[in-house]
Every structure is written in structure tokens, then in C-alpha cells.
Amino acid sequence: MEMDLPTYQLPWRTNLRVPRRVSTRRLCVLGKRQPSTQPAPSLRLWLAFSILAALLAPSGNAQTMHQEHHPPQSAEEYARVLEDPARDEWQKPHEVMMALQLKSTDVVADIGAGTGYFARRFAMHAAKVFAIDIDPKLLEIAAKGAPPNLIALVSKPDDPLLAPASVDLIFFCDVLHHIQDRLAYYRRMTPALKIGGRVVVVDFYKRPLPIGPPPEMKLDDEALTAEFKQAGFLLLRKETFLPYQYFLEFGRAPDHRQR
């Protein structure tokens, strides 16, 4: 998602000019343009800072690419980070799935789905899953070999482009700190919820951790809860089974529910 400095942003996710809705069949033709062999100025700057950070950082494995939360050189490299098997140890996807309590009739929107780490899992338990992202190359990976009920959707940085009353669950994992104007985004996504629909947020605690972005880029769970309250939501449930992330479930406040 887009954001202004000093907020973190994936540089290859900006200024996309792609169709708003992309089927899994059409996604296979995206991304065929060969990348330039010369890194973009922003990438060269990032590489310079990465080299400097490597020189100044302490030794050991704590400072991995994912842990530093810096953008890799390509979508393919970023995909390898997202799909790293070591992620399962702290992301605990099975426990997250159990906590979500999905029904076989549910329609799920995984916003910021990336390579489909969670979306593919949702598709095994829900009726339909929208894997939503602003990067079509990552969605191409998500759609490859995915169940037929997974629908890849290229969205806008400020709008998930979901139809009204179309989903039972909106899911964010390590995404919201990328969004520039979250209150406006919440208001655009809210009409997509069916009556009784939920929003679940999994994101890093705002404190020093061995993984994730620096603390100044993280979102405090209480501040995030206040944002959702301002957007017309109530905190329904908070889980603490993840070692580095909070799990928050929101529902529409009674005076904001759809009629």
C-alpha cells in the first residue's frame, strides 16, 4: 500500500496502471515485460542504505530481509520472503485459521494478500476468497495452483474495490501500517461487509521485536482499536496466542449496521 515518508512503502507497488479486476486466467499474462537491468534511483538508494545497515548491524541471523522489513529487489524475491517456511514458526497459520472460525459458506477478502500465504488456506475452508493486492505479480503467484474459489483482485492503494455486501470477513495481516489514510480506507471497505460481517487484523506489537518493521512503523493495538471505533466498529475479541502479533476482531457498531 502507499504511504509517505517516513512511513514504509514497497517501492514497486506504486503508480500501478493495471485493470481493476483481474481473473486468475488473465493474471497469467501479466508481468511479462522484462525488467530493466539498471536499478531504479529509489532502488539504488535503498541498496546503498541496506549496505550501510549491514555494516552497522550486529552479527547473527536476527537481521534478515523480512525482519528488517526492507523491500527486496523484485516481486519474486519478496515472494520468497513471504513464503519462507520459517515464517510458520511465528505466524502460526493453523492457529490463526482456528481462531477465525470460518464457515463453509463464508466469503473472505484477504486484503494485502501478497502471494496468498493466508488466502490459499482460506480457500480450503470458505466458499469464496478474494485475494486482494495492488501488485499483480504477487497475485499471479497467489493464483498459481490455487483452488478455483480463490479470485485474485488487483485493487487500488486507497480502495479494495469490493462490491457492496459481498463478504463475511475482511482480513488484514501485517498490512494496515502500509495504508496512508486508514480511516478513509475503512469507510470505503465497510460497505463490502454483509450484515454480521467481521474485520480481523493481525499485526505486529508496537515494540522492539526480532521480526517485522521498526517500532516507529508499527501500529499500537489500542490506537488501532480507537481508529476502528471512529470508523463505526467495536472490538469483539482480542487473542494473544501469537508471539509477535496481536489478533483483533471487529464488528459493526449497532448504530452503523446495514439495514
| CB of 228 closer than 8 Å to CB of 250 | yes
Whether 191 has a pLDDT exceeding 90, the answer reads yes
pLDDT, tens only, 4-16: 433 333 333 333 3
> Which of residues 46 and 82 earns the better pLDDT score?
82
Measured distance CA(97)–CA(236) in Å, rounded: 17
Measured distance CA(150)–CA(217) in Å, rounded: 31
Cα dist from 130 to 19, 25, 68, 73, 114, whole Å: 16, 14, 29, 27, 12
Q: Which three cell numbers stand for residue 200?
A: 480481523
| pLDDT of amino acid 9 | 35
Identify the CA nearest to 108 among candidates 199, 244, 186: 199
pLDDT category, 144, cuts 50, 70, 90?
Answer: very high
pLDDT, tens only, 49-105: 343 333 333 333 322 333 334 455 576 777 777 888 899 999 999 999 999 999 999
pLDDT category, 256, cuts 50, 70, 90?
Answer: low
Choice among 33-47, 82-96, 167-181 with the minimum mean pLDDT: 33-47
| DSSP result, 32-47 | -SPPPSSPPHHHHHHH
> Which of residues 11 and 34 earns the better pLDDT score?
34
Measured distance CA(191)–CA(166) in Å, rounded: 9
State mean pLDDT over 169-185.
96
Total-model pTM: 0.72
| pLDDT of amino acid 95 | 98
> Which of residues 7 and 1 earns the better pLDDT score?
1
pLDDT category, 258, cuts 50, 70, 90?
Answer: low
| pLDDT of amino acid 71 | 53
Identify the CA nearest to 113 among candidates 92, 93, 90, 138: 138
| Coil, helix or strand at residue 56 | helix
Whether 35 has a pLDDT exceeding 50, the answer reads no
| pLDDT of amino acid 196 | 96
Share of the chain above pLDDT 90, in %: 63
Task: Name all domains of the chain by residue range, CATH numbers in brackets.
Answer: 11-16+84-254 (3.40.50.150)
Residue ranges of E strands in 181-232: 193-204
| Mean pLDDT, the chain, integer | 79
pLDDT, tens only, 104-142: 999 999 999 999 999 999 999 999 999 999 999 999 999
| pLDDT of amino acid 82 | 84
Measured distance CA(123)–CA(118) in Å, rounded: 9
| pLDDT of amino acid 170 | 98
